[in-house]
């Protein structure tokens, strides 16, 4: 089957029920997307399919119809996205393991809703666990990214 990931086509030959996560990580070698629970509970494996956030650990690769974007595909080559920049400015990550998933969820939120309220953030982000408890800075980073995106029209 053919998968379009971050703009590149990949021909892969695996069981259709293999979760997208393990195709990305073990077959293609894109390890920025993380494994946390395998049962759609933690959000560490969040990627986009046609811009919508999905839990790749529970998404059979055979059902992927659209274009997949992973953390490696955010921004443009050599340039971070506004969300990633905000994450650095606010010194958000701790161990960092959950952060790819957090950033993918936040990116999807901001593309649907350019000025999210705290309640909007709660709703969009509560599927993403951070065991290090970086939540206060995740919230601050989303607000900061929203502002930056508005200012630059990005």
Reduce the DSSP state of residue 119 to 3 states and report it: helix
Q: Yes or no: say if 22 and 11 are a contact pair by the CB < 8 Å rule.
A: no
Cα 69 → chain centroid: 8
Please name the helix (run of DSSP H) or strand (run of DSSP E) that holds residue 144, with its range, or none.
Answer: helix 135-152
The residue (of 57 and 145) whose beta carbon lies closer to ligand FES is 57
List the interface residues with ligand FES, window 64-103 (CB under 6 A): 93-99
Site for ligand FES in 105-134 (CB under 6 A): 130-132, 134
Residues 43-62 that bind ligand FES (CB under 6 A): 43-45, 55, 57
Nearest Cα to Cα of residue 61 among 19, 110, 3, 98: 19
Closest distance to other proteins from the beta carbon of 149 (Å): 16
CB of 152 to ligand FES, least distance (A): 27
Sign, CA dihedral 21-24-27-29, equals negative
Residues that bind other proteins (CB under 8 A): 14-15, 18-19, 21-22, 25-27, 29-39, 41-42, 44, 70-72, 74-75, 80, 84, 87-88, 91-100, 103, 121-123, 125-126, 128-139
Q: Where are the alpha helices (DSSP H) in 20-134?
A: 20-22, 82-89, 99-112, 118-125
**Alpha-carbon span 128 to 45, nearest angstrom:** 9
The site string for ligand FES over 14-43 (x = CB under 6 A, - otherwise) reads ---------------------xxxx-xxxx
Q: With respect to ligand FES, which residue has the nearer C-beta, 81 or 100?
A: 100
């Amino acid at each position: 089957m053919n998968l379009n990931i971050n703009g590149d086509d990949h021909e892969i030959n695996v069981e259709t029920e293999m979760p997208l996560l393990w195709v990305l990580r073990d077959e293609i070698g894109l390890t920025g997307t993380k494994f946390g629970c395998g049962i759609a509970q933690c959000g560490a494996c969040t990627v986009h399919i046609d811009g919508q956030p999905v839990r790749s650990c529970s998404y059979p690769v055979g059902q992927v119809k659209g274009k997949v974007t992973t953390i490696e595909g955010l921004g443009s080559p050599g340039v971070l996205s506004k969300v990633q920049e905000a994450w650095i400015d606010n010194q958000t990550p701790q161990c960092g393991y959950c952060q790819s998933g957090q950033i993918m969820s936040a990116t999807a939120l901001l593309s649907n809703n350019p000025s999210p309220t705290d309640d909007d953030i709660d709703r969009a982000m509560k599927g993403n666990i951070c065991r290090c408890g970086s939540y206060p800075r995740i919230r601050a980073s989303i607000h900061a990214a929203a502002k930056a995106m508005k200012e630059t029209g990005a």
